[in-house]
Structure 1
């Protein structure tokens, strides 16, 4: 399967060198953060340059399998109002920032801290830091590894995430190829999601793509994942000459939430 250049660049590093990021790169990251803060008033990013304080404070409370990801720097995401739309935008903006950081030849890793107690967050991030639920670790990985579908855990097939006209109605590969989006949907399957839940579903109605999210007990994290996938879709569609944005219209749809639409 052919992967787009965009998704091939997607990588996650869990072992960072102790080397700090040069000052000019950190300043560039601050400019990117400020730009996104201006775009979305309910989203706020903060850079914590002394990563040792963050790592030590979260040791045993966050990370992967109870092991904190230690990095020289961290970026924190604070969603000021936890409305579903803002959570969705949070995932979109965090991955947009993450991708721009990767473009600076740096390595990154998402860290979820939504289950960390408020007192710990206050001690690490300050009195106003209790709303911080996601971090990006930044630095130089000890070993870079590209986002490779051959080494990821099981993924749903294209036919299991993309449908024709209505959810559950099979779509043919030929139809997706006729619209030039088969490779895009093949690639987007390998995007990361919490517990590999892969909550995204798409319906192709003529030249319109509708996005849905499977309901679960962890809708907040799934909304973050949906924000990420919407960003991926936009970026990958750009590689085939389609430069448009999703129209978001969150609403209940039975076993799913309707997220929005995109015109090819």
Structure 2
């Protein structure tokens, strides 16, 4: 799947069929989790094939508007600590895994556990369960799709998130076209973020893309969003032959956090 197309059509599903997930898909996801956990020490995953355990444990405590999402299976993400880089990796690797799930023709939905008490988390996820802030529900979706065109209004335009040399300096579409990044920036606007805050700002500096985050009262949540957008940018860059990786910086700069640099 072309990543730019995937992101522009990205959807989150809240209703799932009461249907077991195909065994080959289950094994593929388990193998992919093992691969991801070899890449990082800051996050780990727990796979719950029998989704009723998680659904019943979180019913009335998590979900949307107090309604827990019922799905055939769930994956819990455990974050090592609350350091900034761990928050970045939470978004990066959770969305990396989510993309693999969707590539298996499954549907998925992130669920935050903000209002779930520590005792419930320990009962469900073990002694280290207090470090679980997110679970992914997945299966074969039915019903209304989210992130459809009518629900993606309010997205920033490119001139609001992409700049030259410093935030606030305009960069032309022609210049972005020359670098091959025009389509990437046009698509990355559709990356999901908490409350649609879209905290990311990109600055073109010579042959580098520097990523900034707009600070807020929810910086930890925004850092997770930044990890998501970093993943999508890397994947889309591969489609134009740029196989770089973000170099993490995490440097405070007044209203912004200088997060990372991508060398072109």
TM-score by length of structure 2 reads 0.94
Deviation digits for residues 77-107 of structure 1, max 9, x if unmatched? 0011221011101210111111111111111
The answer on whether the counterparts of 1:213 and 1:222 sit within 8 Å (CA) in structure 2 is: yes
Deviation digits for residues 170-208 of structure 1, max 9, x if unmatched? 222222122121111111111110000001001011221
Question: Which structure 1 segments of 5+ residues have no match?
Answer: none
Structure 2 residue aligned with 1:193: 193
Alignment pair present for 1:72 and 2:68: no
Q: Distance in 2 between matches of 1:59 and 1:136?
A: 15
Structure 1 residue aligned with 2:95: 95
Alignment pair present for 1:173 and 2:199: no
Q: Distance in 2 between matches of 1:59 and 1:146?
A: 22
Deviation digits for residues 28-63 of structure 1, max 9, x if unmatched? 111111111111112110001121121122122211
Which range moved further: 229-238 or 112-121?
Answer: 112-121
Structure 2 residue aligned with 1:14: 14
The answer on whether the counterparts of 2:164 and 2:170 sit within 8 Å (CA) in structure 1 is: yes
Structure 1 residue aligned with 2:55: 55
CA RMSD of aligned residues (A): 1.7
Question: Secondary structure at the residue paired with 1:10?
Answer: coil
Alignment pair present for 1:134 and 2:127: no
Question: Secondary structure at the residue paired with 1:114?
Answer: coil
Runs (4+) off by over 2 Å: 3-6, 8-11, 143-151
TM-score by length of structure 1 reads 0.94
Q: Distance in 1 between matches of 2:259 and 2:187?
A: 20
Q: How many residues align structurally?
A: 262
The answer on whether the counterparts of 2:13 and 2:146 sit within 8 Å (CA) in structure 1 is: no
